[in-house]
Structures are given as C-alpha cells and as structure tokens.
Amino acid sequence: MKRILAILMLICAQPAWADILVPVRTIRAKEIVTAEDLAIKQAEVLGALSDPAEVIGKEARVALYVGRPVRAGDVGPPAIVERNDLVTIRFRQGGLIILTEGRSLGRGADGEVIRVMNLSSRTTVSGRIAPDGTVEVN
C-alpha cells in the first residue's frame, strides 16, 4: 500500500514554482551585491536562492547575469585579503606567539585558508585568515 501511494505521489507531482532571486544587471566577479542589483522572479529552479539576506552584502564569486538565478556557490563573504597583499603571519603555540611579515599568494575572506610566503625565510605556508586580516598558521 505504501509503495502504491509513493508511486501515485510521484506521478501526480506538479512542478513547484517558487520565488527566486535574479540580478537586474550583470554583476562581475568580486563585486559586492546590493539590494538594487536583485529582483524576485517566480520559477522552478533547484538550488536557487530566494532570501535577499543571503545575497546582499556578499561578493560575487562568478559573473551573475541578468535574469539567471543566483545560487549559493555564486556568492560568498567579501575578501579582506587580496593576492600580493602584505599580511602579518601569526604562529601561536600555547603562550608563544610569533609574528612576521608575509605576502599573500591568493585572496580570501575571513575564515578561508590561503597560501602566504614568509618574506624573511621565503617559505610558503598555508593559514586561515582572521577577521583583522592577519593569517594564522599552525
């Protein structure tokens, strides 16, 4: 009986139309998305975002084109470290803290892992970006 009900539900299922977010202008990668850049459209698109709060103030990771749905992977937190920026590298072990200067080899936002080059030793290490823009390595 359960199997028959499941089959009937699949056969009778209708597409579910929902409100999705679409850009009203082309937004290039690395641009910050504002409320004026978005419109709500009714469509059936899997994975499309519908809440403006999930997009406004975020950085476009890829180009967003007019009328196309915005997906979660298309936007992210704004980068606070750009490629080739001078950054402070922080190593912390117990009560010991070592700070040195480095150059970022990538760009990223708070919490993301990037590679940096220690300028004194020319060694490349990976570290997590802190909210203040320093890179913490272990």
- What residue ranges of the chain are covered by domains with CATH 2.30.30.760? 86-137
Q: Is the confidence at residue 138, as pLDDT, over 90?
A: no
Q: Where in the chain is the domain with CATH 3.90.1210.10?
A: 17-76
How confident is the model over 3-58, as pLDDT tens digits? 765 555 555 555 557 889 999 999 999 999 999 999 999 988 888 999 999 999 99
pLDDT at 16: 59
**Domain 17-76, CATH class in plain words:** alpha beta
Mean pLDDT of the chain: 90
Statement: residue 1 has pLDDT above 80: no
pLDDT of residue 18: 81
Chain length of the chain: 138
What mean pLDDT is predicted for residues 50-79? Answer: 95
Whether pLDDT at 2 is above 80: no
Q: State residue 17's pLDDT score.
A: 75
Model-wide pTM > 0.75: no
What class has domain 86-137? mainly beta
